[in-house]
């Protein structure tokens, strides 16, 4: 971290989540700055995974002697958020707390409004009242919606969300822009593209497929296998977040003497979309290699090609040229390497 950041604490919301926990682990080995994590530990998916990630963080903090504090709470609780900012001198805030998932938003819309809209608003208000050096927040590739132009560029219009989840993420970008303009808060939104890796989210395809195959169930491959996803390994995401944290958008005034919003948005993706059928083929090979599944497993009898689901899009594909230009960074972990790490972790976690 920069010298400026070392004088203040770092807040990571969603600290027990997939990306949040990996970011905290990285920061614990990277900086002497105090780190405060907050997470409501909800049961959207198996809470034991969140507890596993927290245990990793606690062990690492103890080993490194890091200044780590965990708070169990919901960012939709305005009093909680305000008390955190009152108690700690946050220089950098990384908001990763959000209700994730496209399909879940169709059946459970309330939780998306609570966490992704009200929760984010509370963070913005706290950043206004207790000025920070940099607010970094998670957006999503889902904001590109039905955009047919690929690869997706941050210069593209994103006015056609196809899910409530996508709409809440676009709303985050709009709210952040308004607060950056009104209160000169440096903010950077990061549009993540299909993040995967060890100890990930069970609702993601690679994890769900593995669970089903192990139970002898049939996996459904949407859009008859014609979907492509820009799978991005979690370590690559974390590297991007850390680089962005270090360099907030510059504060400057326009010709009218008023602040130009210190506001940026970047894609973080692998820039190499993989066909779902090819992805499943690599996954099954790595599951066999890791001895999660036997070599004799009949994969073909456990696959089913099905139509596209509501809220899904046929392709995600990141244009990361802005990230490369401003930070000299581009994700590059090959899919096979990432899935190999996941398969080996899965064997250790579930089959020990």
The full DSSP string for 98-125 is ----STHHHH-HHHHIIIIIIIHHHHHH
Question: Half-sphere exposure of residue 348, counting CA atoms within 13 Å on the CB side?
Answer: 9
Annotated domain spans of the chain: 3-193+233-270+317-332
Classify residue 83 by burial, with Cβ atoms within 10 Å: 0-12, 13-18, 19+. Answer: middle
Q: Would you put residue 143 in left (φ > 0), alpha (ψ -120 to 50) or beta?
A: alpha
Which pTM was predicted? Answer: 0.95
Catalytic residue among 165, 206, 263, 266: 165
**Residue that is written with structure tokens 């919901």 in the block:** 74
pLDDT at 1: 47
CB atoms within 10 A of CB 43: 8
Measuring CA to CA, how many Å separate 338 from each of 23, 45, 279? Answer: 17, 22, 11
In 201-333, at which residue ranges do the beta strands (DSSP E only) sit?
A: 219-221, 228-229, 232-233, 252-253, 259-260, 263-268, 274-275, 303-305
In the chain, at which residue ranges do the beta strands (DSSP E only) sit?
A: 9-13, 35-39, 68-72, 90-95, 134-140, 187-192, 195-196, 219-221, 228-229, 232-233, 252-253, 259-260, 263-268, 274-275, 303-305
Superfamily name with CATH number, domain 3-193+233-270+317-332: NAD(P)-binding Rossmann-like Domain (3.40.50.720)
Q: Are 346 and 289 in contact (CB under 8 A)?
A: no
Beta bridge partners of 152: 318
C-alpha–C-alpha distance, residues 17 and 200, integer Å: 8
Helix, strand or coil, per DSSP, at residue 54: helix
First-last CA distance in the chain: 37
Low-confidence stretches of the chain (pLDDT beneath 70): 1-7, 352
Helix, strand or coil, per DSSP, at residue 21: helix
**Residue that is written with structure tokens 């904001």 in the block:** 143
Q: Is 44 a catalytic residue?
A: no
Q: How many helices (H) and strands (E) does the chain have?
A: 13, 15
């Amino acid at each position: 971290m920069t010298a400026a950041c070392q004088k203040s604490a770092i807040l990571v919301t969603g600290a027990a989540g997939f990306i949040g926990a990996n970011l905290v682990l990285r920061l614990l080995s990277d900086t002497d700055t105090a780190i405060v994590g907050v997470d409501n530990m909800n049961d959207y998916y198996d809470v034991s995974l969140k507890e596993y990630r927290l245990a990793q963080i606690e062990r690492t903090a103890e080993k490194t002697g890091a200044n780590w504090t965990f708070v169990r709470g919901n960012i939709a609780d305005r009093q909680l958020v305000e008390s955190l900012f009152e108690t700690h001198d946050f220089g950098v805030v990384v908001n990763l707390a959000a209700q994730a998932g496209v399909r879940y938003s169709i059946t459970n819309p309330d939780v998306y409004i609570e966490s992704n809209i009200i929760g984010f608003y509370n963070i913005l208000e706290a950043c206004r009242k207790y000025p920070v050096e940099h607010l970094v927040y998670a957006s999503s590739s889902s904001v590109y919606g039905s955009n047919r132009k690929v690869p997706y560029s941050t210069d593209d219009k994103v006015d056609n969300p196809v899910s409530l989840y996508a709409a809440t993420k676009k709303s985050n970008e709009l709210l952040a822009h308004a607060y950056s303009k009104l209160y000169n808060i440096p903010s950077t939104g990061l549009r993540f593209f299909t993040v995967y890796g060890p100890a990930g989210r069970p609702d993601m395809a690679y994890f769900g497929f593995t669970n089903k195959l192990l139970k002898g169930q049939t996996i459904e491959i949407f859009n008859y296998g014609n979907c492509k996803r820009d799978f991005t390994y979690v370590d690559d995401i974390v590297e991007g977040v850390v680089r962005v944290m270090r360099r907030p958008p510059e504060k400057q005034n326009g010709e009218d003497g008023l602040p130009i919003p210190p506001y940026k948005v970047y894609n973080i993706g692998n820039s190499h979309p993989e066909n779902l059928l090819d992805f499943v083929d690599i996954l099954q090979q790595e599951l066999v290699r890791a001895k999660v599944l036997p070599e004799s497993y009949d994969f073909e009898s456990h696959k089913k090609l099905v139509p596209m689901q509501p809220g899904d899009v046929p392709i995600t594909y990141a244009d990361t040229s802005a990230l490369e230009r401003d930070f000299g960074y581009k994700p590059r972990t090959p899919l096979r390497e990432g899935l190999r790490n996941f398969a080996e972790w899965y064997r250790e976690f579930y089959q020990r």
